Structure 1
Amino acid sequence: MVIVVVALAVPVGLLIGAVGVGGVLLPPALVHLGGFDVHAAAATSSWAFLFTGVVGTLAYARHESMPWPLARRLALGAAPAAAAGALVNGLVSPLVVWLVLGSITLGAGAHRLFGRTGGERTSLPAAAALATGAVVGFGSALTGTGGPVLLVPVLMLLGVAPLPAVAAGQLIQVPLAAFAVLGYSATGSVHYGLGAVLGVVAAAAVVAGARFARRLPPERLRQVSASILVAVGLFLFALPLLPS
């Protein structure tokens, strides 16, 4: 079944590169298909997302699509919070975090689909960006889902346009994943070999996903990203009902 998880890394990478929410699929796959406990799944996923973060950042930066001031502030807030989230992962059940993440994701998608489309900003005030990064860093490390899963819906709720939101999500993965892995390594939860394989496979798919996002007209990207956010939000609500 581990082979199935590795194959799943392809759509995970495509979704991370295109709309930023693919990472939510990997930890449950490691639990339900790979036989990992929830802590090892979160830890190994975090290691894999270090690969996708580096490749995704390069892919968006190469085409000058990266909102650097926003992304740097988000990353600065996320890094220390990610280490804290990883350390408390073994102490707190992730159920409440999954439900909160599902509510934010579903709400952001519904808002983008049915609400007004104004407010297409590409930046946030410095304090708001740092605080957003800290919340995203803690929640993402706690669940092992990678930064974009939580960051993209939050940024979209704050009025940031889809393309810069997804691009910023690529960069935030790098410090977030690095600090999360440091926290998880203290408990020996990281499976580095499998995580590296998953990361390389997913990172290759990230490039294709990023190319897809850049080629879509802004309105079409809004519709696609919003629809996927709704689907992922519903998946997160159903996730606790899946047999472990």
Structure 2
Amino acid sequence: MLLGMLLLAVPVGLLIGTVGVGGVLLPPALVHLGGFGVPAAAGTSSWAFLFTGVVGTLAYARHGTIPWPLAGRLALGAAPAAVAGALVNGLVPPLVVWLVLGSITLGAGAHRLRRGSGGDRTALPTATAVVTGAVVGFGSALTGTGGPVLLVPVLSLLGVAPLAAVAAGQLIQLPLAAFAVLGYGTTGSVHYGLGTLLGVVAAAAVVAGARFARRLPGTRLRQVSAGLLLGVGVFLFTLPFLPS
């Protein structure tokens, strides 16, 4: 079981580094492969995403692709909302959460596939960015999926360029995961040892994913991210019906 989860951490990191949506795979793996309860799976995943956030931020910052003003405003809203999301985990039916996330992800993927609808913005109005960060922080901490999973689809719908959205998603993992761990840690729902192993493996793969994303032309990155968003959206719709 441990080996299977460690192997899964590789595609998780690759997808986080490339298009930002890989984190959605980790909590279900901890539930279905590791036998974790939902809060423990979300808390342990959040701890692992601290590692991918640090490495992803450094990888994108090194090449000047992080839209710092946008990322900072998103983080301002995400941090406090992440604590709330962690504390109410288990009160909201998982089916509702996954269907909402699936709808957003499918919508963003379909939107990005439309000709000329990819968007090229690297900034948003302050209020829009803070509110977006709060929604993403709450939803991501609630599910333990990491910031980019929800942030990238939402930014896509708001017209933000694909590379800027993925780069901003790397930075937002840091305050979001830290505050989510704070919330889950108060109930003993974080397995730090396993989370560290998964985080280190995934973080190493993030570097390769970030390198791949930077080398892709904008149009091709948009196509790749659209296809993966659609795939993740379908996965989210089937997730509640997988056997525990």
TM-score by length of 2: 0.99
Are residues 1:171 and 2:210 paired? no
Question: In the superposition, relative to structure 1, how do residues 118 and 49 fare at CA in structure 2: closer, same or farther (>3 Å)?
Answer: closer
Counterpart AA for 2:107: G
Counterpart AA for 2:14: L
Q: How does 1:176-195 map to 2 (within 5 A)?
A: 176-195=176-195
- Structure 1 counterpart SS, 2:148: helix
Give the superposition deviation at 1:106.
Answer: 0.5
- Structure 2 counterpart SS, 1:89: coil
Identity of aligned residues (%): 83
**2:14 is matched with which residue?**
14
Do 1:42 and 1:143's aligned partners in 2 also have CA atoms closer than 8 Å?
Answer: yes
Runs of 4+ in structure 1 deviating by more than 3 angstroms, as ranges, are none
Count of residue correspondences: 244
Task: Give the RMSD, CA atoms, in angstroms.
Answer: 0.8
Counterpart AA for 1:194: L
Give the superposition deviation at 1:237.
Answer: 0.2
Are residues 1:146 and 2:146 paired? yes
Are residues 1:201 and 2:201 paired? yes
**1:76 is matched with which residue?**
76
- Structure 2 counterpart SS, 1:121: coil
CA deviation string 1:2-54 (max 9, x = no partner): 21011100000000000000000000000011111111000000000000001
Unaligned runs of 5+ in 2: none
**2:241 is matched with which residue?**
241
Are residues 1:211 and 2:231 paired? no
Unaligned runs of 5+ in 1: none
Counterpart AA for 2:208: A
Do 2:118 and 2:162's aligned partners in 1 also have CA atoms closer than 8 Å?
Answer: no
Distance 2:118 2:190 in 1: 42
**1:157 is matched with which residue?**
157
Distance 1:34 1:106 in 2: 28
Distance 1:119 1:57 in 2: 22
Counterpart AA for 2:38: V
Give the superposition deviation at 1:120.
Answer: 1.2
Distance 1:92 1:202 in 2: 28
Counterpart AA for 1:83: V
Are residues 1:220 and 2:223 paired? no
Give the superposition deviation at 1:97.
Answer: 1.1
Give the superposition deviation at 1:115.
Answer: 4.8
Counterpart AA for 2:101: L
Give the superposition deviation at 1:118.
Answer: 5.5
**2:108 is matched with which residue?**
108
Give the superposition deviation at 1:91.
Answer: 2.2
Moved more, 67-76 or 114-123: 114-123
